[in-house]
Amino acid sequence: MKQTVNQLTGQLMEREPLARYTSWRVGGCADRLYKPSSIEDVQQYLQSLPVDESVLWLGLGSNVLIRDGGVRGSVIYTRGCLKQMHDRSDGLIYVEAGVPCALVAKMAAEKDLTGAEFLAGIPGTMGGALAMNAGAFGGETWSLVSKVLLVNRQGELIERKATDYEVGYRSVSVAEGEWFVACYLDIPTGGNQQSREKIRELLAKRSKTQPTNIPSGGSVFKNPPGDHAARLIEVTGLKGKQIGGAQVSEKHSNFILNIGDASAADIEQLIGFVKKSVQQKQGVLLETEVRIMGEVLEA
């Protein structure tokens, strides 16, 4: 590295097991895992790295499957690190990438703002929600975004308008080597008790319909146009299907669970089996919403 660890103010760990940082509770080690103290610290860390070192970002670790061989290069961990959130004089709300989406929904409701309630149902941080236009209960992240703040591989900060991006269903046109570190949300006024009640209703619905008490990665597949991945998986007869310690949830078939001792390989194999089975029996090729990354563990 160009700078010594002492010049950085975050926490650097080497050969850190990533299973501790993912909602599936699987994944091999990262060569380096860095917990930054601030956005400025992220800039310094990126500038300290060799130019050819790969960089992966993790927040709550949902919607991502880290393979058993782990990740080469650096992982920047934002949860509990990039955690600033506050009002601005222009009426926008500044939120950093490591803030859980549920906290944004809670803050908006407390300030009598309306339209952000759906964020309570997204089990991730704002950085991940921005990167994939995460959604829940009919709402999508980018419907609230006015501007974003990014950092590039050289450690430079960039501010862009929401209109600079092509945004679709679970997709955002982010340039390679750029990552969201904060956003400016425009959430309309008009909430109050109704917003808080709606959040409670959405969370109750999520608890009733999704397996929230067992390790999973969230929804595995995107919904195809005019249909639902869960329905297609269910009618294919795959509820409860198990490979190793990985199981298709019987509560919500678009969730794959770690029922105790799953490896990332078990989960990836089950994802492939579900995808192939649905295509063969229903004629629909499901597209994964979960991002699969890292190295396959060598035998």
**16: annotated active-site residue:** no
Rounded Cα–Cα distance for residues 193 and 167 (Å)? 31
Where does the pLDDT of residue 2 fall: very low under 50, low under 70, confident under 90, or very high at 90 and above?
very low
Determine which one of 170, 196, 206, 231 is catalytic.
Answer: 170
Residue 120: strand pairing partners: none
pLDDT in tens, 208-239: 878 888 999 999 999 999 999 999 999 999 99
Task: Convert the chain into a string of H (helix), E (strand) and C (coil).
Answer: CCCCHHHCCCEEEEEEEHHHHCCCCCCCEEEEEEECCCHHHHHHHHHHCCCCCCEEEECCCCCEEECCCCEEEEEEECCCCCCCEEECCCCCEEEECCCEHHHHHHHHHHCCECCCHHHHHCCCEHHHHHHHCCEECCEEHHHCEEEEEEEECCCCEEEEEHHHCCEECCEECCCCCEEEEEEEECCCECCCHHHHHHHHHHHHHHHHHCCCCCCECCCCECCCCCCCHHHHHHHCCCCCCEECCEEECCCCCCCEEECCCCCHHHHHHHHHHHHHHHHHHHCCCCCECCEEECCCCCC
Rounded Cα–Cα distance for residues 170 and 109 (Å)? 25
Is pLDDT above 80 for 194? no
Where does the pLDDT of residue 197 fall: very low under 50, low under 70, confident under 90, or very high at 90 and above?
confident
Alpha carbon distances (Å) from 256 to 64, 100, 218, 275: 12, 22, 8, 12
pLDDT of residue 298: 77
What number is the average pLDDT over the span 192-207? 79
The tokens for 273 are 């089996």
pLDDT in tens, 89-121: 899 999 999 999 999 999 998 888 999 999 999
Per the model's pLDDT, the better-predicted residue between 205 and 78 turns out to be 78
What number is the average pLDDT over the span 3-11? 73
Rounded Cα–Cα distance for residues 180 and 63 (Å)? 17
Determine which one of 219, 249, 253, 263 is catalytic.
Answer: 219
**67: annotated active-site residue:** no
Domains, the chain: 5-77 (3.30.43.10), 85-208 (3.30.465.10), 212-293 (3.90.78.10)
Rounded Cα–Cα distance for residues 139 and 142 (Å)? 9
pLDDT in tens, 267-286: 999 999 999 999 999 999 99
**289: annotated active-site residue:** yes
Strands 291-293 and 64-66: what pairing? parallel
Is pLDDT above 50 for 4? no
Tell the residue number behind the tokens 């952000």, with chain if given. 116
Rounded Cα–Cα distance for residues 175 and 180 (Å)? 11
Determine which one of 16, 96, 117, 289 is catalytic.
Answer: 289
**Do 143 and 136 touch, CB atoms closer than 8 A?**
no
Residue 30: strand pairing partners: 16, 71
Where does the pLDDT of residue 3 fall: very low under 50, low under 70, confident under 90, or very high at 90 and above?
very low
Mean pLDDT of the chain: 93
